[in-house]
Amino acid sequence: MDEQKIIEKTREFVESKLTGKNTGHDWWHVYRVWVNAKRISQKEKVDLFIVELAALLHDIADWKFHDGDESRGPQIAREWLENLAVEQETISHVCKIIKDISFKGVGVKTHMHSKEGEVVQDADRLDALGAIGIARTFAYGGSKETEIFNPNIKPTKHKSFEEYKKNQSHTINHFHEKLLLLKDLMNTEMGKKLALERHTYMQDYLQRFLHEWEGRS
């Protein structure tokens, strides 16, 4: 099977699994990550086949919806790609990207081990920023029945992934515990540029939110 056919079958597979999810981690999130990963790849020397597969499969089984199980996503991706007779070296590379892609808390250092991984990670993080990032954050919070804001609960600097996974704070805290930190964690030059624009938009939104919360115009 040629690479383009594998990409198309993978797109159909992921779309069938994630369409209609109301958590902000749906098919359209994956689609946007896929599009941005291809866009960033134009400026980087990468294997586009690996980038596209990793972008499409990166959220096939997010740990947040599988009882914190980090192995489920890579496992499903491996089984799918083996079914398509993709080379083992490519499968291992894609699964490594899926395993390492997630933000795991401000106190946890995570590093991508390939340029392809850096591209996909940047594309994923871009979708957590800006107008879409704001919408996704409240969609996820709503799906978990999380408070929008509670001024009595301050942000936490999580020192471990386990601590981060157990976090049950309000939605506005998520901006401070993760989203506003992403700008400085981008890997590629294009990713950094796009993140800055979206970061600034998000800062303006939060300032407006607090003004309205406090009854100011």
Taking only the tens place, the pLDDT of each residue in 16-61 is: 999 988 888 899 999 999 999 999 999 999 999 999 999 999 999 7
pLDDT digits (tens, 9 = 90+) for 151-204: 998 887 766 666 655 677 789 988 998 899 999 999 999 999 999 999 999 999
Q: What is the predicted pLDDT for the residue at 161?
A: 61
Domain range enclosing 109: 3-213
Q: What percent of the chain has pLDDT over 90?
A: 69
Does residue 107 carry a pLDDT above 80? no
Residues 6+ apart with CB under 8 A from 11: 34, 56
State how many domains the chain has: 1
What is the domain-level CATH number for residue 76? 1.10.3210.50
Q: What is the predicted pLDDT for the residue at 70?
A: 74
Q: What is the predicted pLDDT for the residue at 126?
A: 97
Reported pTM: 0.91
* Separation of CA 1 from chain center: 29
pLDDT digits (tens, 9 = 90+) for 58-101: 999 775 655 556 788 899 999 999 999 999 999 999 999 999 88
CB–CB of 128/101 below 8 Å?
A: no
